[in-house]
Amino acid sequence: MYDVAARKIQLWNAAMSADPDLYEVAARVSTIPDTATAVLRFANSAYIGAVYPVGTVLEAVIRVGSRSVGALAMASLNRDLVDTWGAPELWEASLVVGRAAKLIGRLLGFGRSENEHLFVAGLFSCAGSAGLLMKDEGYLDWRRRQWMKGASDAQMLERERMVYGSNHVEMATGLLREWNLPDAIVRAVAAHHSPHEDTEKALWAAMMVLPVDSPSRCLDLPFKNAMRALGLEEHREFVETEARLFADVTVDAFTAEPALRAVGEA
């Protein structure tokens, strides 16, 4: 996974630069099969209003824009990670939270780069739970029992450390540091149970967009209350709907069978 992870992170860096070279971005996409397929499918989806099909990676990159390509690269990295940690079911929730964090950042008036950082932070905040599930498949039940006993966020993280040797925040931030991702991302993930800065609060609120029974949900407050705390209550439905739609389209871009094969099997 490490060689592929490095290529996806390099692609993200190239795609997120202030003045991205789309030829370079397309060349990097072409070396990563799952991302290349997803970029093509994404470029041809109704989600971005595709009217006529594009057939090459370069055309697809030009159509969707480098930032969306970077987002797909990180989405695929996140998928690799939760797969490796044995909890592929957490991937979709990560996409929902990542997209919600970016939208909340936009609504709060943050800049593009801060919002892209929030997207990645949202993706990987959930992934730490996959790390603990790899250590103990009963982790989610264990966590539920701690909540029922009234454990606070801080107590919960401390208990995870005592029981598993690490908590889900440390598992995620350790990996993000190992990958040399920007400090702003690591800090937001590190603070998602005790946010102080506005960007940290945006991520904190985004985590609540998940249904209360979602295995990825590690914070316990209704989403509407979290949005109200940020003065964004009127945007709650928009964020929920758009985040789920983005996750659906992204999952589809990575997992849908090619249309021709589906026809052939019918």
Point out which residues bind Fe ion (CB under 5 A).
Answer: 218
Find out whether 239 and 224 touch, Cβ atoms under 8 Å.
no
Q: CA separation (Å) from 46 to 41, 62, 184, 246, 249?
A: 10, 16, 33, 12, 9
**Selection from 141, 153, 265, 133 nearest residue 208 by Cα:** 153
The residue with its CB nearest to Fe ion is: 218
Identity of residue 86: G
CA of residue 90 relative to chain centroid, distance: 10
Give the distance, in angstroms, between the CA of residue 121 and the centroid of all CA atoms in the same chain. 7
Smaller CB distance to Fe ion: residue 53 or 222?
A: 222
- Total residues belonging to the chain: 266
Residue (26 or 218) nearer to Fe ion, CB: 218
How far is Cα 254 from Cα 82, in angstroms, rounded to an integer?
14
Query: 222 or 231: whose CB is closer to Fe ion?
Result: 222
Instruction: Identify which of residues 69 and 218 has a Cβ nearer to Fe ion in the complex.
Output: 218
Task: CB nearer to Fe ion: give 15 or 189.
Answer: 189
- Complex with Fe ion: residue 77 or 156, whichever CB lies closer: 156
Note whether 58 and 26 are within 8 A (CB).
yes
29 vs 200, beta carbon nearer Fe ion: 200
Smallest gap, in angstroms, from Cβ of residue 143 to Fe ion? 10
Residue 131 CB, nearest approach to Fe ion (Å): 11
Q: How far is the CB of 237 from Fe ion (least distance, A)?
A: 24
Q: Are 119 and 102 in contact (CB under 8 A)?
A: yes
Considering the complex, what minimum distance in angstroms separates the CB of residue 153 from Fe ion?
8
The minimum distance between CB 155 and Fe ion, in angstroms, equals 13
Burial annotation 69-88 (CB, 10 A radius, 16+ → b, else e):
bbbbbbbbbbbbbbeebebe
CA distance 150 to 179: 35
In the chain, DSSP finds a helix count (H) and a strand count (E) of: 15, 0
Q: CB of residue 200 vs Fe ion: minimum separation in angstroms?
A: 12
Q: Smallest distance, Å, CB 15 to Fe ion? A: 27
